[in-house]
Amino acid sequence: MAHHFNNYIAGEWVPAKSGKTVENRNPADNDDLVGVFPESGVDDLNEAVAAARSAYARWRKVPAPVRALKIQRAGELMRERKEEISRQMTREMGKVMAETRGDTQEGIDTAFYMAGEGRRLFGVTTPVELPSKFGMAVRRPVGVAGLITPWNFPMAIPTWKVFPALVAGNAVVIKPATYTPATVCDLGLILEEAGVPPGVFNVVCGSGSTVGEAILGHPGVDVISFTGSSAVGRRINEVGGKNLKRVSLELGGKNAQIVLADADLELALEGVLWGAYGTTGQRCTATSRLILENKVHDKFVKMLIDAAARLKLGPGLDESVQVGPLVSASQRETVHSYVEVGRKEGAELALGGEFYVEGESKKGYFYKPTVFLGVKAAMRIAREEIFGPVLSVLKVKDADEAIDVLNDSSYGLSSSIYTRDVNLAFKAIEDIEAGITYVNGPTIGAEVHLPFGGVKDTGNGHREGSFTAFDVFTEWKSVYVDYSGRLQRAQIDVGA
């Protein structure tokens, strides 16, 4: 019998007011029904925002270290249930168990990190220009946070947003991705058990066109945090700007790994296989471009094709599998359409480029790891985000050209360079236009205590993770205390 999930509003698990539901199935096996979820509407969202506004008035008064204890407890519960959470995540999203365990662990790490920040939330004290007067700046919560999260990291990315928002004293309404609502419902159960008060955290399942749009325009939502495509991010920024809402956007990427002639080629090979085909290429930080110095191009391409051809595809619950399915039939069609674009553009299809339909895989949305050679920087497959297991290989003459080619992109999220030359490594760190640069590591693998985000079309300047997340979920308040007992006029009564 199918598991029926509900929305979580004002501390209660409730169905959509319309009574409508939608099924969620395993992308590796369409016969496997993960659950039935509410197909919510504007009325459900309005109720959740009202609950959040009411709860916010009380939650913001709870001392930050006490709020943080609830998040610490949530992390402990997640750690106890890591395997259970990860297995369900693999069923609803498709990526292999090693990766869903990592996704869950990232949520655990975020919980413990943000719990520690509850005893900091540092402000600033500073000298002032008049005697017997004190100046400081402190952080204050923004209000109700509307969170819209993607399907590729069903636990990690929601926790990146939820935990700092709650520690800072905000209330939350989250719309999980339509492909992966079960994991966010699990998070709701965990926060409920951890003692987060009713209304402080609310989950409304539904489509972006209905629930997502309602969040954007709702006058009771003070800050919006979104992770997803750049096209949708532009729409959110437009609506948010019109209503003077704070908006945080973490958007797409067209990330590149550079391999120079002096690199450890075996290490670089491990990096590109993990970067390009981990999560079946469905990461904003996935390695989509491989930039090879011409001296090692032919040798490395042979190594790459031999290794990528041996990757094992199949259901993520099989511990021996290395590459799971794409998240949906439509995503697989999108990936394949880009493969056709690459062929028409004149790139050489050296590996893959087709559905994988062997045995039980016929029930899922599998796509073979794909490699294009002879790719030029102007080709669409080298410029547009594909979000699948498709790698474009570009040849360059030296490190300078490699960095120029890497930077020739409208995106700027993650980047990677493999070299043994410390001078070239630091040149790359300085000159690469990206929010993240790895030296002798793949383009994926961010840690929760460092800022996460990018430049150009990858976002609007905010960062997730680390202490920088509080720049999204707090306002600065400047405080002046004059204990002189007389009127002192700043800028006027200052001695020469």
- What pLDDT, on a 0 to 100 scale, did the predictor assign at position 251? 97
- What pLDDT, on a 0 to 100 scale, did the predictor assign at position 476? 98
Pair 173, 147 in one domain: yes
Report if residue 488 sits inside a domain. no
Separation between Cα atoms, residue 41 and residue 92, nearest integer Å: 22
Report if residue 1 sits inside a domain. no
Report if residue 108 sits inside a domain. yes
Pair 435, 361 in one domain: yes
Report if residue 495 sits inside a domain. no
Report if residue 359 sits inside a domain. yes
Backbone angles phi, psi at 338, to 5 degrees: -70, -35
Model pLDDT for residues 345-358, shown as the tens digit of each residue: 999 999 999 999 99
CATH number at residue 306: 3.40.309.10
Count of domains observed in the chain: 2
Catalytic residue positions, numbered: 250, 284
- What pLDDT, on a 0 to 100 scale, did the predictor assign at position 359? 87
> 51: domain range?
7-251+459-479
Model pLDDT for residues 452-491, shown as the tens digit of each residue: 999 999 999 999 999 999 999 999 999 999 999 999 999 9
- CB contact at 8 A, 211 and 44: yes
Tokens 């539904």 belong to which residue? 206
Separation between Cα atoms, residue 469 and residue 161, nearest integer Å: 8
What are the strands of the beta sheet with 201-203, ordered from one edge? Answer: 12-14, 7-9, 201-203, 171-175, 144-148, 223-227, 246-250
- Rounded to a whole number of angstroms, the CA Rg of the chain reads 24
Report if residue 315 sits inside a domain. yes
Helices then strands, each counted (H, E), the chain: 14, 21
Pair 235, 96 in one domain: yes
Separation between Cα atoms, residue 141 and residue 469, nearest integer Å: 12
The closest of 449, 463, 409, 401 to 428, measured between CA atoms, is: 401
Pair 259, 247 in one domain: no
- What pLDDT, on a 0 to 100 scale, did the predictor assign at position 311? 98
| Strands 348-351 and 370-373, sheet pairing | antiparallel
Pair 375, 466 in one domain: no
Pair 243, 278 in one domain: no
Tokens 């880009």 belong to which residue? 338
List, as one string, the DSSP characters of 170-204: -EEEEE--TT-HHHHHHHHHHHHHHTPPTTTEEE-
pLDDT in tens, the chain (496 residues): 568 999 999 999 999 999 999 999 999 999 999 999 999 999 999 999 999 999 999 999 999 999 999 999 999 999 999 999 999 999 999 999 999 999 999 999 999 999 999 999 999 999 999 999 999 999 999 999 999 999 999 999 999 999 999 999 999 999 999 999 999 999 999 999 999 999 999 999 999 999 999 999 999 999 999 999 999 999 999 999 999 999 999 999 999 999 999 999 999 999 999 999 999 999 999 999 999 999 999 999 999 999 999 999 999 999 999 999 999 999 999 999 999 999 999 999 999 999 999 988 999 999 999 999 999 999 999 999 999 999 999 999 999 999 999 999 999 999 999 999 999 999 999 999 999 999 999 999 999 999 999 999 999 999 999 999 999 999 999 999 999 999 999 999 987 5
- What pLDDT, on a 0 to 100 scale, did the predictor assign at position 1? 52
| CA 469-471-477 angle, 5° bins | 145
